Amino acid sequence: MQVWINGNAVEVDSEMTILQAAGKAGVQIPTLCHLEGVHEMGVCRICVVEVKGSRNLLPACITKVREGMEILTHTARVRRARRTVLELMLSDHPNECLSCGKGSACELQQLARELNITDRRFEGSYSKRIIDDGTPSLVRDSGKCILCRRCPTVCSQIQGVSAIAPIDRGFKTVIAPAWKESLINSPCVLCGQCAAVCPTGAIMEKNDSQKVWNALSDPGYHVVVQAAPAVRVAIGEMFGMEPGTPATGKMVTALKRLGFDRVFDTNFSADLTIMEEGNELLQRIREGGKLPMITSCSPGWINYIEYFFPDLLEHLSTCKSPQQMFGAVIKTYYADKMALDPEKIFTVSVMPCTAKKYESQRPEMASSGYRDVDAVLTTRELGTMLKEAGIDLAACPDGEFDEPFGPGTGAGAIFGNTGGVMEAALRTVYELVTGKPLDRLEFNEVRGLKGIKETRVKLCDMELSAAVIHGLSNVRPVLEEIREGRSPYQFIEVMCCPGGCIGGGGQPFSRDKDVRAKRMQGLYKEDESLPIRKSHENPAVRKLYEEFLIEPLGHKSHELLHTSYKSRR
Amino acid sequence: MKLYRNHVLVCGGGGCQSSGCKEISRQLRDELIKLGIGDEINVVITGCMGPCSLGPVMIVYPEGIFYCGLKPESVSRIAREHLYEGNPVKEFFYRDPYSGEAMATIHEIPFFTRQKKVALRNVGLIDPLKIEEYIAFDGYFALAKALSEMTPFDVIKVVKDSGLRGRGGAGFPTGLKWELTAKASGSPKYVTCNADEGDPGAFMDRSIIEGDPHTLIEGMAIAGYAIGAEQGYVYIRAEYPMAVEHLEKAIAQAREYGLLGKNILGSGFHFDLEIRVGAGAFVCGEETALLSSVEGKRGEPRPKPPFPAEKGLWGKPTLLNNVETYANIPAIILEGPEWFKSMGTEKSPGTKVFALAGNVVNTGLVEVPMGTPLGDIIFDIGGGIIGKREFKAAQTGGPSGGCIPASGLNIPVDYESLKEWGTIMGSGGLIVMDERTCMVDLAKYFLDFVQEESCGKCTPCRLGTKRMLEILQRITEGKGKREDIETLKQLGEDIMDTALCGLGQSAPNPVLNSIRYFLDEYVKHIEKHHCDASVCAAMFLAPCQNACPAGVDVPQYIEYIRRGMLMEAVATIRERNPFPSVCGRVCTHPCEDRCQRAQMDEPMAIRSLKRFAADYELQNKEAFYFNEDQQKANGKNKTVAVIGGGPAGLTAAYYLSLWGYKVTVFEAAGQLGGALNYYIPPYRLPNDVLAREIDIILRSGVNVVLDTKVGRDISFGEIRNHFDAVFVAIGTQQAAELGIEGEKSKGVMTALDFLSRINRGQRPEIGDKVVVIGGGSTAFDAARSAVRLGAKEVCILYRRSKWDMPALPEEREHAAEEGVKIFDYVAPVSIIPDENGRIEGLKCIRMAKGEFDSSARRKPVPIEGSEFRMDVDTLLIAIGAQGEVEGFEELELTGWKTFKVDEDTMQTSMEGVFAGGDCIHGPDTVIQAIADGRRAALAIDRYLGGNQEELEKAQQHKPRKIYGSIVETEQERLRVPLLTPEERKNNFREIELPFDIEACQREASRCLRCDVR
């Protein structure tokens, strides 16, 4: 059909919104609350346009086109209304841009520039400011909240958690857990998806960079760092690189320049996880253990099941996540090997995740007698630290991960994608069971952004039925099935965040709707580029078993690499 | 079936419930049994009858005798005297608010006769808890008709043809909505009812559900049939427990009778209803928010389109109407669309229920044909404004609506005209406001309401209304800025343009509307820091002080009187008003009108207290605080001429002189005092009292030149040249004429001429029959003086209603006691002289109530052929006066022959020449003249380089303190002893008698001291 945008005829699809139609016509309409495909509520009213025949201005983001519609996007009336709406928002927003952690990533600030706002027209009272820093992962500052409502939408629609919702009315409206409690007393899983979509600094990860700076500048500490696979395909975004560009080598150099004594690859412990988890699965299948077995490397997911489905905790693999396994190995095996006092080793991990901060602080994550992981940085925090230190990641030469753990395998790398753990596990389990090498390493059915993916793999005389789920709202029906005893699967991979870790709550902010797909491709590329692509072939892992752990699921493994769960109800 | 001699219907509406109707009906039943007639008379508790402010009320059928304001004792008497003995008890009849006449039946009381009930047809007439009674009044016949004789299409056509529009507010055509829902694809479909009545003061939906729940059920079932729905939901607010209870019972009864449920009346149509109780969010009146709430979600609006007709409850086509709309449906189906269209206006057929509230006599629920003039609803049905105050505005549409000022009293109330006037029908709230309402404060009230009730979803509503509220708050605190009005307008328009739902889009309406009609009030708040209505308390000490044109510190002098410090009391008055004794006698006391004590019992007797203190001063030492040293210290060596020795001129002269100026007063007459001296008769203001008060003023050092009239004895230019500044305060002396035939006849004179002769000690010759034309104080002064001169018959003719007379009620009362007769709605046509050219009679014509004029009074219109003749010996004309401006040709005039002055500086068109008093406003009150005199003195001081204003401002913030306790129990106001009518009829002695200090102190201790916060 045809519509008229600012007097120009545009051919559009009947399902399009005015915003999309305008985009097609090359007309930019400012938006703020809108997140295509995720949050389409039309609440901020920044995108209003004039439509002939309509008494009021209409929100372009949710108003569908009609045949012959005459749309005016930048008339004096529209610009005045938009300015007023934005000026109103600014009138209830603290004047703290200079010291706000969100910095220039703030969409409100960007919009104020775009609309050429140069003063604060409305003066008035500020709504009550509640700062919730009760969790180790996230800090919520209602003073900076513009009530775009992206966070409750993501929390309820994408994650199915509904920990936060609008409370109270009018000027007193606030997004908060029930009874305006702290997140720590809510069902919040700390996935940080709210922080990832927040246009302002109202929800941010709890900043741990100072802790890391302190360790780095303390000569008494041996400071090591591990970096998760999803980090390397995203951190470049903060330095002007295209999303998904693998920046592994540059990142290693940058971390070394930052002052870490050793830089390790979490891919190593991902491989280690596969060794333990793959064997655990086989053991459960062979010995009649609890099935289906569900992966346990995503800490947001662990929080979810502990809160919402505590009766199903036995289905979880007892494996610690790669982050925690690595920490435990560093404080024991590595300390021994390097003749270091574990007390004096400070382990840092760089994660795409906010829930990892919480995970690292769980009391049980210290089975070596020392905290497995001392500090967790999100990808964003690392990027900010590099900038503070004047390190341009994009300009860094490639470096290599330090021994004794080396670079890890392709199987470890794809851990960052939804389906990656499954694929890595299948590569190993298949060969462990059949004793034959796989013809093709790629398991395409478990790749991609579909919410629930399934696969069946023939392993000698048995067929393994598996599912891959990401985004917690997709988990509920599968768990209900398990609860009712009708689950068709033996093995399920669950990743808390949509897309897996590459879409984690600690990743660089992006409004690029294809950002997840690009990062995923980056990891698959990384996998392909690596000489070793199966976890059980990782020489460092083999060496670890030979020198220290003896065998998967062995006594030491049990002590250091496995854990248990409890109901959070 | 049992037959009863009488049915007594006791109103069980919300208002009557709270005033004790249950107790009344119990008492009545007991009494009837005691009298042995318990089985002859049926006592029924019905739904709301409407006249809530009169409650508890009841009607005795078959005659329709209406009793109001009932108490258990009164019921016993009614049982005995009326129901047993057969004599209705007049004492508990309704009384006409204008005439005070008792009216017996609902067939004569305008509150009932002017109504036309469709939606409320059974409310107040049946026992709502008995389905049999509903059926007896043709209940469920419409459903039966629809199911047996009509297709769904037919039903929709009838509703469309009727022209019924949604009674919830927006007035969307109901039939069209039904058609859209019927045609929408999707299944199942739902019928929903909005009973979340949230507008402050509106309670028609509640009354319908409480008083006639089956009509809602029937209307919804018909709708279900028409659109193809089998399930309906009624969304009622939790604040209406009785409505919920009645509807629950009615639904159960309807199910029992097969009128809800499966296969209704064997037609194959299934329909059932469920109640959803809302938690009381105003926004849930918005349709999409309501549907979200029915679904169990947070009550927040969602964007439209899609409209509920396409995607409503759970995404299915849903019909949503409000209670009143559904209540019309059965009647329309039964009586047909033509019948419905015969009521109301072309575009808004039918009737509308209004909840009449505010400062109107008969508050309650009324149903009138659409198009009934607003003024008729307020003044005929509503009985006018309480206390006969001035109507200011009517607010419709609740927080989304706006106000209609007095100029809109003639508009026919329907959707179109309300929209034209910038307001909306809304659910039918109609709040009447008098002059004590501050429009800025009112706008603030409504905005505060909507900003509290905003769901917070969209930015403009959540933040915009808050910012508007903050601006209004500032304005009402006297901190407004000039640009605030423009900001409010712009912000309001932008909110309306961008908000997500109807609540936000209409939220700024009360503000924009009040700026449209009452801009001057906003400006006054911002620029003058004055709230005429004495509401915005941050801008004044106390309402009485704020209402006083001269701003006298009333609570302070009342406090001094209470403490027995009478000299200090007078000194306090004299700071703003050098005529305490005069004002203690003749002031129109606007202060008392605003006295907060009136809300408890009666207003303070402020004028009388002032008189007491001032008299004490005159009889004892003087509180006059002038001293020469101070004057010398102030000495400014500048000269000021005051032209006119009336209250305005003398006041200005007094203060200027105190502040050190050399002042000369030029007076045309032989005595000072102006109108006080010449036109106010001695029985109200004795000459010696005035003389002594003037004497005190003169002692401040004022020079006086008597018998010197500008233009006759001296030229204006000469005065202007000799003085540094001139104040012109020449008043208005030229009496207005009737302009009718025979006005020059002997025996016809102006009241002013008549009064001035009396005050000069003459006894003007009058005949036996004296007629005075006019309705102001002068008319009454003339009439009462005529009585004192021995006239046998004195009457006052007034062309409007006696309630519209500008004279004070006590003047009317005192005149009546003295035998003066008042004839209202009469106007003179011509004077009939005898052969000697002497008046012999007056031809008059009767007047009828016409449309409302801009003063909210009905314009009198002559009734053709109603002319009649009166015998008259003396005719006194008291219809106003104007200035004599000869000699002042250099000064610019207004169209009313008054001097044009700058409002802020009081300066005329000529530099250094100021004017004030009646010669700038036309005839006005004494206190206004005094206030002008002082304002002019300050303006002249400023002009001559003084800083008196700053000095006074600096002294204003003294701490306020209460000494002793306030009487907080009801206590009668001080009654001033008067001469009896017999004692006063043949002489000019002052009629008010002195009273003692104990009485005054008792009165003073009633003062609530609003100034102490």
pLDDT of A36 over the 80 cut = yes
A157 contacts on B by Cβ (under 8 Å): none
Contact B570, B621 (CB under 8 A): no
- Global model pTM greater than 0.90: yes
Kindly state whether B463 is in contact with chain A, defined as any CB-CB distance less than 8 angstroms: yes
List, in order, residues 6 or more apart from B783 with CB less than 8 Å away: B770, B772, B794, B795, B796, B815, B820, B876
Cβ pair A170:B465 closer than 8 A = yes
pLDDT of A172 over the 70 cut = yes
pLDDT of B1 over the 60 cut = no
> Chain A: residue nearest B457 by CA?
A43
CA separation, residue B290 to residues B177, B218, B320, B455 (Å) = 17, 22, 10, 12
* B548 secondary structure, DSSP code: S
Cβ pair B494:A84 closer than 8 A = yes
* B237 secondary structure, DSSP code: E
d(Cα B153, Cα B227) in Å, to the nearest integer?
A: 9
Query: pLDDT digits over B607-627, tens only?
Result: 999 999 999 988 886 655 556
pLDDT for the residue numbered B625:
58
Mean pLDDT computed over B72-85: 92
User: Across the interface, which of A88, A124, A125 has its CB nearest the CB of B459?
Assistant: A88
Mean pLDDT computed over B144-162: 97
Contact B655, B934 (CB under 8 A): yes
Q: Which residue in this structure is represented by tokens 């046509």? A: B829
Task: Report residue A133's pLDDT band, with 50, 70 and 90 as the boundaries.
Answer: very high
The Cβ-side half-sphere exposure at B13, using a 13 Å CA radius, reads 27
Cβ pair A88:B500 closer than 8 A = no
Beta bridge partners of B982: none
H helix count then E strand count, chain A: 20, 18
d(Cα B188, Cα B317) in Å, to the nearest integer?
A: 8
Percent of chain B with pLDDT over 90: 84
Query: pLDDT digits over B413-436, tens only?
Result: 999 999 999 999 988 999 999 999
d(Cα A332, Cα A345) in Å, to the nearest integer?
A: 10
Amino acid in position B515: I
Mean pLDDT computed over A110-130: 93
pLDDT for the residue numbered B343:
96
* A207 secondary structure, DSSP code: P
Residue positions of A annotated with a catalytic role: 277, 280, 297, 317, 356, 359, 364, 501
Cβ pair B303:A171 closer than 8 A = no
Contact B67, B74 (CB under 8 A): yes
A87 contacts on B by Cβ (under 8 Å): none
Quickly count: other Cβ atoms within 10 Å of residue A65's Cβ.
25
pLDDT for the residue numbered B264:
96
Task: Report residue B380's pLDDT band, with 50, 70 and 90 as the boundaries.
Answer: very high
**What is the dihedral sign for C-alpha B135, B139, B143, B144?**
positive
Taking alpha carbons only, the member of A383, A389, A377, A375 closest to residue A221 is: A375
Kindly state whether A116 is in contact with chain B, defined as any CB-CB distance less than 8 angstroms: no
* B10 secondary structure, DSSP code: E
Taking alpha carbons only, the member of B646, B731, B733, B732 closest to residue B697 is: B646
Mean pLDDT computed over A141-156: 97
Tokens of A483: 């609860």
* B524 secondary structure, DSSP code: I
CA separation, residue B451 to residues A3, B404, B441, B488, B499 (Å) = 37, 23, 15, 15, 13
In whole angstroms, what separates CA B397 from the centre of its chain?
Answer: 18
- Compute the radius of gyration of chain B from its Cα atoms: 33
Query: pLDDT digits over B448-473, tens only?
Result: 999 999 999 999 999 999 999 999 99
How far apart are the CA of A475 and the nearest CA of chain B, in angstroms? 23
Beta bridge partners of A10: A3
Beta bridge partners of B350: none
Query: pLDDT digits over B866-891, tens only?
Result: 999 999 999 999 998 888 888 898 99
Contact B104, B88 (CB under 8 A): yes
Beta bridge partners of B373: B412
Residue of B282, B307, B497, B509 to mutate, interface with A, max A Cβ within 10 Å:
B497
Query: pLDDT digits over B299-330, tens only?
Result: 999 998 899 999 999 999 999 999 999 999 99
Beta bridge partners of A316: A294
Taking alpha carbons only, the member of B362, B914, B849, B302 closest to residue B643 is: B914
pLDDT of A411 over the 70 cut = yes
Tokens of A424: 């890595």
List, in order, residues 6 or more apart from B895 with CB less than 8 Å away: none
Query: pLDDT digits over B9-58, tens only?
Result: 999 998 899 899 999 999 999 999 999 998 899 999 999 999 999 989 99
Contact B459, A45 (CB under 8 A): yes
Give the SS3 label for residue A48.
strand
pLDDT for the residue numbered A426:
94
Q: In b/e form, how buried is each residue of B871-907, taking b as 16+ CB within 10 angstroms?
A: ebbbbbbbbbbbbbbebbeebebeeeebbebeeeebb
Mean pLDDT computed over A12-25: 95
How, if at all, do strands A345-351 and A222-227 pair? parallel
How, if at all, do strands B703-705 and B662-666 pair? parallel
d(Cα A132, Cα A114) in Å, to the nearest integer?
A: 31
> Chain A: residue nearest B491 by CA?
A84
Q: What is the ipTM of this complex?
A: 0.93
The crossing angle, in degrees rounded to 10, of helices B152-162 and B174-183 is 150
